[in-house]
Amino acid sequence: TQLLEQSPQFLSIQEGENLTVYCNSSSVFSSLQWYRQEPGEGPVLLVTVVTGGEVKKLKRLTFQFGDARKDSSLHITAAQPGDTGLYLCAGPPYNQGGKLIFGQGTELSVKP
């Protein structure tokens, strides 16, 4: 079974702190996506990483794809209450018809 292990599953921090969310697998992924979801809404795409070692930045968010394309991380600098939400990593394993496997999700709460 190909799995994406996401950690931590819950994170409660103060405004201004930094944090990192990890997404790991023993399998190779052709790409990895990061989504953010708010209660009662669908996931919203933040970024897609495709190349091993790739780093993408989206304002205070930095995404990295591992060299071997088996892991990824999301780093948030100076978190704000508006960053609160469920963060999901997802990826299509090789030769699986493009369907996505999701990590367990990270519930982030940023307190003012």
Partner 1 sequence: GAVVSQHPSRVICKSGTSVKIECRSLDFQATTMFWYRQFPKQSLMLMATSNEGSKATYEQGVEKDKFLINHASLTLSTLTVTSAHPEDSSFYICSAKTPGGTDTQYFGPGTRLTVL
Between 51 and 77, name the residue whose CB sits nearer to partner 1. 51
Nearer to partner 1, 40 or 112 (CB): 40
CA distance 112 to 14: 6
Report in angstroms how near the CB of residue 111 gets to partner 1 at its nearest.
18
Residue with tokens 């989206």: 58
Judged by beta carbon, residue 24 or residue 31, the one nearer partner 1 is 31
The nearest distance, CB 43 to partner 1, in angstroms, is 5
Q: Which stretches of the chain bind partner 1, using CB under 8 A?
A: 6, 30-31, 33, 35, 40-45, 48, 88, 90-92, 97-105, 107
Residue nearer to partner 1 on the CB measure, 31 or 62: 31
- State the nearest-atom distance from the C-beta of 108 to partner 1, in Å: 13
CA angle 42/70/4 to nearest 5° reads 45
The backbone region for 53, taken as left when phi is positive above 0, alpha when psi lies in -120 to 50, beta otherwise, is: left
Least distance (Å) between residue 76 CB and partner 1: 19
Measure the CA–CA gap between 104 and 112, rounded to whole angstroms: 26
Polymer length of the chain? 112
Question: Do the Cβ atoms of 6 and 23 come closer than 8 Å?
Answer: yes
